Homo-oligomer: A and B are copies of this chain.
Amino acid sequence: MTADQLSLTFSALADPTRRAILARLAGGEASVTELAAPFTMTLPAISKHLKVLERAKLISRGRDAQWRPCRLRAEPLQDAEEWIERYRLLWEERFDRLDDYLSEAQARGAKSQEDHHD
């Protein structure tokens, strides 16, 4: 079942190693061994992570002699960000409306109870 793009993006981002790789790449292109350096795991493991990132279109890879430089691709990041923002804002809007309702209700309540003094 070839997953949809958004699922590919989020599941690629779900691994801390892959997020660290992307964080590194935000600072500029890097080779596979450069990317692998900070980690204790073996090179094939990193190679697999890079394949996941590539399949998610979060990186693209060039060829420079025996090196395969990786670079970040921001487009899927933007799509993921927009998905999150959309539903987060929808939800926060609800609270704003609720706040409005509550302050109104409180105003009404205060008015109707202003002789109770309890």
Binds B, one of A9-17, A34-42, A60-68, A107-115: A9-17
- Distance to closest chain B CB from A108 (angstroms): 23
B14 touches A10 (CB 8 A): yes
Q: How far is the CB of A37 from chain B (nearest CB, A)?
A: 19
Instruction: State the CA gap A26–B13 with chains docked (Å).
Output: 23
| CB pair B88 A77 closer than 8 Å | yes
- Also in contact, A22 and B87, with CB within 8 A (given A10-B14, A14-B7, A14-B14): yes
Is A83 close to B, CB under 8 A? yes
- In the bound assembly, the distance between CA atoms of A28 and B90 in angstroms comes to 10
Name A95's closest neighbour in chain B (CB-CB).
B74
Show the binding face of A for B, using Cβ within 8 Å. Answer: 3-4, 6-7, 10-11, 13-16, 19, 22-23, 25-28, 72, 74, 77-78, 80-81, 83-85, 87-88, 90-92, 94
